[in-house]
Amino acid sequence: MSAILPPADRLWWKQPIDKIEWTWIMLAFTWAMIMFVMMIYWHINGKQNLSTETYKSTREMWTAKAEKFIAENTVRTETDQQIPVVKVAPGGDAYLTASLWKWWPILELEKGQTYKVHLYSMDYNHGFSLQPTNINIQVVPGYEHVVKMTPTQAGTFAIVCNEFCGIGHHSMLGRIYVK
Amino acid sequence: MATTYRNCPRTGLQFDTEAEKLMRWNAVVGVVFLLIGGIMALFVILTRWPSVKLLPADQFYLVLTAHGVDMLLVWIIFFEMAVLYFASSTLLRCRLATPKWAWVQFWLMIVGAVMGNYAVLSGESSVMFTSYAPMQASPFFYLGLILFAVGALIGCFVFLGTLVVAKAEKTYEGSIPLVTFGALTACIIAIFTIASGAVILIPTLLWSVGIIKEIDPLMYRVVWWGMGHSSQQINVSAHVAIWYAIAAIAFGAKPLSEKVSRFAYFLYILFLQLACAHHLLSDPGLGSEWKVLNTSYFMYFAVMASMIHGFTVPGAIEAAQRKRGYNNGLFEWLRKAPWGNPAFSGMFISLVSFGFLGGISGVVLGTEQLNMLMHNTFYVPGHFHATVVSGTTLAFMALTYFLVPVLFKRELILPKMCALQPYVFGISMGVLSLVMMGAGTLGVSRRHWDMAFSGAPFQYEWPGAAYLMMGLTGIFGVIAVVGGAMFCLLIVGSLLFGKKLDEGKVTTERTPFPPNTVAANVSSTGSAEHVAVPGTMVLAMLLLVSFVLYYFVNWKYLSEVWGLS
Amino acid sequence: MADMQNEEIPFMQRVLDNHFLLLFLGIAVPTVLYIVWGIMEIIAIPIAK
């Protein structure tokens, strides 16, 4: 009977399934398996997989590393805030700090080179949103995330914060130069 | 006090008087919070509309938090309590177990909802619905949510208790109706949701009053999403049950196969909740194996289940319509459907929007690597406005049109406007989700007050198309708010001023189901009354083709961004 | 027809009619696969050098 009444047939499990319904079930099943395999395939053959390399860290431990990185590699400063522009050696490590409400420092990278970008938040959750490329990574306080990035285009890129982090959230804009 | 029952003269449904009162009050309070959330929605949309930008930043984040909490939790869960009581006591023709506890459910949820709203509106808890630690809200925010959740948990237990009573008192034979089975699925997911909520919100409450020193931010995200995402899976189960219910009520449609539909629900019970991982795909620290297995609902079995429901619901309608003689061509059954009946039109728009917009975008968003293209962009709210609003809220609205005469014994006022409302709301919400997803594809952030980044040390200019999408978001958002307002007006108006209808006989005797006659058994067994559903197959193939194309287009986009490893 | 009334109910139908078994499964599966496994992943994250 109808869906709002108990099934009239005592042994409803034994009712045959219509051919057209079986066809759809098998199509849905096949598509489900394709999508599942696709993620695994991309891990093996794709060039865009988010690194899972992560370390627990503290503000002190992080600040020591990040300040050393900036002190050794700064090439100039920009804007009234004197934001250091740091040239990262190809294949080298870069330390990018998210805090209320800035991305620090500005990174200078080269096209086609691979860098280990370390992301860390000093306070709340932040969102690393690289524009206009549109790559989005969550930055969680207390966890140092090491992401290997290979820029494929030259230009000036913006890092928008796309995780709500308080009243100044909208002004949290960082920069990456790719030469 | 003895239990009394009322037999509805219009539908033949039987209501436990106390349960009926509970359904009415839960639904009414739900609609009140829908109204509050809708007012908040208007402020949100008018602020994100770049050329209007109504509110300052602090007020924007405040109303956005209130909008999220009132819509995603309060309105929907109040309504779901009414659905649970309906699916148990009414559909099983049984007394409601422990009606006193059900009233505790109601009052605890009210106290919780009011407290949560107070905490947000007083300005001290603009932490968004997600309230990620270490960002801290006032203790009342967490306490309000906890009380609300405890109330909902009691409601779930009353539902389960009613199933036990019905079985013990043999009010039905064999298995529970499919719609009740769907409600059971929703109830099981709700219990997992609330348990996860308790595990994370109780320590967070203690942290907000200074008893616990620290909450691990990543641990918070994992367990919180056990609540935050699962709560939306309750909705999926509930609104699919409502699709089946409306198909049954409006057409006398019976499921194509009890076995297939119930097994699809069984897959929901097992795997749907794993999708909480959708929010953590771009997070540090969680392994790819964990991400892949969870985000895919264990190899996409729950997606398969949704695709099955998406087939069997219109399939049941097609079969019922063809039996009535609407047998010409592929789609006469659909053309001759009662499009002027808001219960049907709302349900059907909900079905189509959920499948084509919400379902496809959800799977793409929830693919481990593709998530990096959209995580935390405007695409995310675009997706869930297609699922939770076009899908769930519209299905609930459709059911409400059916419930007003049945439960409230009032005729709907302004029937022409009632017939129009699902189209205004459904279509504008569909377009809204699309343009929101469009803006998100271009990178625009969610939960962001200013696309121009005023006060930032640099400038970043979004593509012109992003501004166009955000402008359209503003326009269609306002139309959707109007559609929602029409609904609140029509329902509240009908409850107050609708023509009173005959309420039927109230007795202390329970009326059992009409007996299952042998004839009924024969007619529903085997292929004797087999009806093919080619029209549904065409619609389903259209869905599959769009799905496959859109899925691979996104892999193409991904292959063009920077290398990541 | 007489046959059908006495025939044993199939296993899967009995599972789907056993509401508390479903409740157990619906809580156990996500708790193990999502919550417990997820928390173990977080606990296993090494300390930064």
Spans of all domains in chain B = 363-509
- The three-class DSSP label of residue B163 is helix
Write out chain A residues lying below 8 Å of B532, CB-based. 18, 20
Interchain proximity A137–B450, CB inside 8 Å: no
Instruction: ipTM value, please give it.
Output: 0.96
**Which class for A21: exposed (0-12), middle (13-18), buried (19 or more C-beta within 10 A)?**
buried
Residues of chain B numbered 378-437 and touching chain A (CB < 8 Å)? none
For chain A, what is the radius of gyration of the CA atoms? 24
**Distance from C-alpha of B45 to C-alpha of B355, rounded to nearest angstrom:** 25
**E strands within A20-134?**
54-56, 74-78, 83-87, 93-99, 102-104, 106-109, 115-121, 126-131
B192/chain C closest Cα distance in angstroms:
6
Name every residue whose Cβ is closer than 8 Å to that of residue B449 and which is 6 or more positions away in sequence: A169, A170, B47, B57, B60, B61
| Cβ under 8 Å to B: A residues 87-106 | 102
Q: Which of C5, C9, C48 sits opposite A55 (nearest CB)?
A: C48
Q: With respect to residue C6, please indicate whether it lies within any of the assigned structural domains.
A: no
Number of domains in chain C: 1
Q: Which residue positions in chain B have pLDDT lower than 50?
A: 517-528
Of A128, A108, A131, A111, nearest to A120 by C-alpha is A128
Query: Which of A21, A143, A163 lies nearest to residue B285, judging by beta carbons?
Result: A143
Q: Residues 1..49 of C with a Cβ closer than 8 Å to A: which?
A: 4-5, 7, 9-10, 12-13, 16, 45-49
- Nearest CB among A36, A123, A170 relative to B453 is that of A170
Domain that holds residue C31: 19-49
The verdict on a CB contact (< 8 Å) between C33 and B293 is yes
Contacts of B218 in chain C (CB under 8 A): 42
C-alpha distances out from residue A69 to A118, A141, B57, B190, Å: 11, 20, 35, 49
Question: Cα B46 vs. chain centroid, distance in angstroms?
Answer: 24
Residue A117, strand partner residues: A94, A147
Decide if A61 touches C, using CB distance below 8 A.
yes
Confirm if B524 and A12 have CB atoms less than 8 A apart.
no
Residue A125 sits at the chain B interface (C-beta within 8 Å): yes
Fold topology of A54-178: Immunoglobulin-like (2.60.40)
How close, in Å, is residue A176 to chain B by CA atoms?
11
Pairing mode of beta strands A93-99, A115-121: parallel
CA distance A115 to A109: 8
Residue B510 per-residue DSSP state: P
pLDDT at residue B36 in the model: 97
Interface touch A55/C5, C-beta < 8 Å: no
Q: Could you tell me the mean pLDDT of each successive run of 10 residues in chain A, 179 residues long?
A: 84 91 96 97 97 96 97 94 95 96 96 97 97 96 97 96 96 96
pLDDT digits (tens, 9 = 90+) for B349-381: 999 999 999 999 999 999 999 999 999 999 999
Q: Are C41 and B285 in contact (CB < 8 Å)? A: yes
Which candidate, B459, B471, B189, places its Cα nearest to that of A173?
B459
Hey, is A98 helix, strand or coil?
A: strand
Q: Cβ–Cβ of B526/A13 closer than 8 Å?
A: no
Whether residue C43 is contained in a domain is answered as yes
pLDDT surpassing 60 at residue C6: yes
Whether C42 is covered by a domain: the verdict is: yes
Task: Give me B363's structure tokens.
Answer: 């799977």
Partner C contacted by A12 (CB < 8 A): yes
Please judge whether C34 and B189 are an interchain contact, meaning their C-beta atoms are less than 8 angstroms apart.
no
Q: Are B97 and B164 in contact (CB under 8 A)?
A: yes
d(CA B394, CA B397): 5
B61, B215, B283: which to substitute to probe chain A, counting the most A Cβ within 10 Å?
Answer: B283
Helix axes B464-497, B394-407, angle to 10 degrees: 10
* Contact call for residues B83 and B21 (beta carbons, < 8 A): no
**How far is the C-alpha of B252 from the C-alpha of B519, rounded, in Å?**
17
Give the integer Cα–Cα distance in Å for B351 and B390: 8
Residue B222 sits at the chain C interface (C-beta within 8 Å): yes
**Residue C1 falls within a domain, yes or no?**
no
Nearest CA in chain C to B267: C26
Interchain contact, B263 vs C12, CB within 8 Å = yes
Q: How many CB atoms lie within 10 A of CB A140?
A: 26
Inspect the interface and report whether the beta carbons of C34 and B195 lie closer than 8 Å: no
| Interchain CB contacts (distance < 8 Å): A and B | 323
Residue B520: its pLDDT value, please?
Answer: 42
Q: Which residues pair with A150 in a beta bridge?
A: B563
CA distance C19 to chain A (A): 15
Residue of C nearest to A10 (CA): C5
List CB contacts (< 8 A) between C10 and chain A. Answer: 11, 13-14
Interface check for A131 against chain C (CB to CB < 8 A): the answer is no
CB-CB: which of C9, C45, C47 is closest to A11? C9
